[in-house]
Structure 1
Amino acid sequence: MTKKTKNIVSDFANNDMPAEVQEQFRCWLDEHAGGEAAEEQLLEEWNAAKLGPVNGAAYEQSFERLMQSMPAASSAAAPKKGRIARLAASWRRMAAVAAVCGVVLGLGALGARLFLKPENGVFVVTGEDSKGRFVLPDGTQVWLNYDSRLYYPESFDGNLRSVRLEGEALFNVVRDASKPFRVRTSLMEVEVLGTVFDLKCYEHLDYAELVLVSGSVKATCAGQLPVTLCPDERLVAYRNSKKIDYQAVDANNYNKWMFETQKLDEMRLDAVFVNLEHRYNVEFDIADDVGLEARLTLSLRSEPLEEILDAIALVVPIRYESSGGTIFITRR
C-alpha cells in the first residue's frame, strides 16, 4: 500500500467511525490491500468527493497502530461499490473511503444516517446526535432514535418479516396476517401482525422496554412465557435477572420523541421526565423525596437538555447532576 493511500486510510479511520463501518473497511483492506486497481479506486473516490490533496503528514506509525486496533473483518465477502451523493461536512472524509467499501452515507430531515449493505441485508445506523425515519421493504415505517442500529433483509421472503434492533425505535407495522413481523433484541423478542409500538434496548442499559401504542403485540423474554400487551401497556425485561415489570402507562409519553417540536401540556413532572428520557436518550435517577405531582407546560424543540432542566428547576425545587450517562434528580 502506497504512503498516499495510507494517509487516506489513517485520515478516514481517525474520525468517529462506527464499528460496523470499521469492519466493512477492514474487510475491503484485507481483500484488496496492495492491489493497484483498488488503490486507484480509493484515490478516485477521494478526489471525486473534492476533499483536496492528501498531505504528506507523518501517518506511518499511527497507521500501523490503527490497523492493529481496528476490528477483524468478518468472513463475508465485501459488498459491491456504491457512490455517494451528498455528504455532511463532518462525514466527508469517511464517505470517500466508505464508497469503496459499499457503505452509503446520507442526510435526512432528522440528521445523519448511515446505511451498510452486506450481501444478505441492510444495516441502518444513527449517530449519537441524529435520528432517522426509514421505510422497510413491506412499507413498515421505522423511526430510529439516537445511537441506534437496525438490521433487515432487502426483501421479506418466506412466511416471516424479521428485523434486529439495538437502541430505540418506533415501529408502525403494515398489517399482513399471513406474515407476522418480528423484532429481535438482546433481551426481548416482539411479534406483531400490524401495530404501532416503541421498543428500547441499548446494550449499555440493564433493561429492555416495550410500550404499545395501538394494536397488540406478543413479547417473549428469556426464561419467561410470552406476554400479550394491549394499548397503553409497558413491559420491562431486565438483563441480569429473569424479572419483568408490567404496568399501565400513557403511551403518548413514549412515542413523540421523533417530532422536531414537542408540546407537553399541563403534564406531571414524572411524565415530563419520561418524555425527556426518550427525546434526549438519557436515563434519569429520581430520588424518592422529589415531588412529582407538579404539572408543567413545555415546548421542546432543539434546546440542550441542560436548558430544559434549568427551566424546570426555576419552578420545581430540584437539583440535577449528570454522571456516567445518568442524570440524578434530587430535592432542593
Structure 2
Amino acid sequence: MEMNREKEIEILFKKFRENTINEEEYHRLMDWIKESGSESRMRKWMDEHWEELKKNEDHPERETVSDTRFHQLLEKADKRRRVHRPRDMEQGYVYYRVAAILVLLLSVSGIWYFKNREKPLPPPVMVTQHISSGEKATITLPDGTVVRLNSNTELVFPDRFSGDVREVTLRGEAFFEVTKDKKHPFLVKTGELTTRVLGTSFNIKAYENEEEVEVSVATGLVEVSKGETGKESEEEQHVLLNPSQQAVYREDEQNFITREVDIASIAMWKNGILSFNRTPLDQAAKMLERWYGVKVILKNPGLKKCVITGDHKNQGLSSVLHSFRYALGVSYEITKDTVIINGKDCTR
C-alpha cells in the first residue's frame, strides 16, 4: 500500500512540474508533504529522484516561472550537497532546507497556478480602418509599424499579430514604415497581389476599379508576387524591388513592369502634395475626387486623352482647377460637391 502511495506522489509531482495537475491532485500532494513525519519520506524520495528533479522533463516549452525558480533552488542545493557530502549533518541540513523551500514554493505557486492557469488566447479581432474621401490618417499597428493612409482607403489588420507572418489587407493607397522582424515577414494583400517585406518603407497604390497597382520602394527590399506566396511562379509573376524602384501591375495584361523612380517622388501625397506626372485627365479626375471629397465629371469624353503635369502643395480645389484651365484650355464649374470639366478633345 505504501509503495502505491509513493508511486502516486511521483505521478502528482510530475503532473505539477508539467503544469497538468488539477486542484484536487494539487491538494493531495500538499497533504502528503505536510503530513506528520513526511520529512524523512521526502528526503528519501528526493534522494532517489534528485537528478530527475533538476531536469526539464519532456516539456521545456511549458516551463513556468515557478518551475524555473524550483530548478534554480535545486541546483544551488545540489552544489552544497556535493561540497558537503562527507558530513551527514550538513547533508541533512541541505535536504531539510530544500524540503522546506519546496513546501513553501508549492504552496505559493499552487495559489498562483489556480488563479492564473493559462487560458487559450481568443483569435485575433480584425480591425477595419476606413479613410473617407478628402481625409488622410496615420495609424500604428500592433507591432509598431506606422501606416499613413491616403483618402478613400481601407486597411484591415488584426488587433494583435500571431503566427508566422504579419498580414494586412489594403484597398486604396498607403505608405508603410514596417517595424523590422526577420522571423515574422510583413505581408500586404491587395487583390491578387501580395507585397512581402521584413522591415522597410514603401508605398502601395491599389484603388478598386483602377487598372494599375503600383508598389514603390523608399528603403529596404520588397517582394511583390501574384497569387499565393511561398509557391514557385513564373518570372513575370514575381519581382524584387530595391530602393528607387517601382513595380506596376496591370490587371488587363496580367504582368509586372519594373521602373526606376525618384525617391523624393514616392508618396508625395503624405506631405500634402497632389502630384500629376503626365496623368490622363480621367485619372486626374479620380485623384481630385479622393483628395477633395467631390464628384468630378468630364462632360466631353474626349477630354480623357488630355494629360496633365504639375505639383500642388496644400492648395485648394479652385487653385488646382485653375491650373488645369491654364494648361489644357478647359473650363470648369463647381456646384456644391460636384465639379464639371468641359473643353475640346485633346490629342496625345
Q: TM-score, normalised by structure 1?
A: 0.51
Matched with 2:346 is 330
In 1, Cα distance between the equivalents of 2:340 and 2:147? Answer: 25
2:316 counterpart of 1:303: yes
Matched with 1:228 is 240
After TM superposition, list the pairs within 5 Å mapping 1:1-332 onto structure 2: 120-222=125-227, 224-260=236-272, 262=273, 270=278, 281=290, 287=305, 300-304=313-317, 306-311=318-323, 313-314=325-326, 316=327, 318-319=329-330, 330=346
SS of the residue 1:176 aligns to: coil
Distance apart, 1:173 and its partner CA: 0.6
Structure 1 residue ranges, 4+ long, deviating more than 3 angstroms after superposition:
222-225, 268-288, 316-332
8 Å CA contact retained: 2:130, 2:155: yes
8 Å CA contact retained: 1:254, 1:275: no
In 1, Cα distance between the equivalents of 2:242 and 2:332? Answer: 36
Distance apart, 1:275 and its partner CA: 9.9
8 Å CA contact retained: 2:125, 2:159: yes
Cα deviation, 1:241-270, whole Å, max 9, x if unaligned, reads 32322111123223120224x498xxx964
Cα deviation, 1:52-89, whole Å, max 9, x if unaligned, reads xxxxxxxxxxxxxxxxxxxxxxxxxxxxxxxxxxxxxx
In 2, Cα distance between the equivalents of 1:299 and 1:175? Answer: 33
Distance apart, 1:299 and its partner CA: 5.1
Distance apart, 1:172 and its partner CA: 0.6
CA spacing shift, 1:152–1:234, aligned 2, 3 Å: same
Cα deviation, 1:69-116, whole Å, max 9, x if unaligned, reads xxxxxxxxxxxxxxxxxxxxxxxxxxxxxxxxxxxxxxxxxxxxxxxx
8 Å CA contact retained: 2:165, 2:187: yes
- Consecutive unaligned residues in structure 1, runs of 5 or more: 1-117
SS of the residue 2:216 aligns to: strand
Cα deviation, 1:248-299, whole Å, max 9, x if unaligned, reads 1123223120224x498xxx964899999868648998748x696xxx6x55
Distance apart, 1:326 and its partner CA: 11
Cα deviation, 1:189-223, whole Å, max 9, x if unaligned, reads 00001111110111211221111111110000247
Distance apart, 1:226 and its partner CA: 1.8
8 Å CA contact retained: 1:221, 1:237: no
CA spacing shift, 1:172–1:318, aligned 2, 3 Å: farther
8 Å CA contact retained: 2:128, 2:154: yes
In 1, Cα distance between the equivalents of 2:253 and 2:157? Answer: 29
Q: Which amino acid aligns with 2:255?
A: K
8 Å CA contact retained: 1:257, 1:279: no
In 2, Cα distance between the equivalents of 1:231 and 1:121? Answer: 31
Q: Which amino acid aligns with 1:122?
A: V
Matched with 2:47 is none
Aligned-pair Cα RMSD in Å: 4.1
CA spacing shift, 1:212–1:275, aligned 2, 3 Å: farther
Identical counterparts, % of pairs: 24
SS of the residue 1:166 aligns to: strand
Distance apart, 1:183 and its partner CA: 0.3
CA spacing shift, 1:119–1:216, aligned 2, 3 Å: closer
In 1, Cα distance between the equivalents of 2:331 and 2:193? Answer: 32
CA spacing shift, 1:190–1:321, aligned 2, 3 Å: farther
In 1, Cα distance between the equivalents of 2:204 and 2:253? Answer: 19
- Consecutive unaligned residues in structure 2, runs of 5 or more: 1-122, 228-232
SS of the residue 1:330 aligns to: coil
Q: Which amino acid aligns with 1:144?
A: L
In 2, Cα distance between the equivalents of 1:250 and 1:122? Answer: 34
Q: Which amino acid aligns with 2:238?
A: P
SS of the residue 2:143 aligns to: coil
In 2, Cα distance between the equivalents of 1:237 and 1:192? Answer: 18
8 Å CA contact retained: 1:146, 1:281: yes
8 Å CA contact retained: 1:125, 1:150: yes
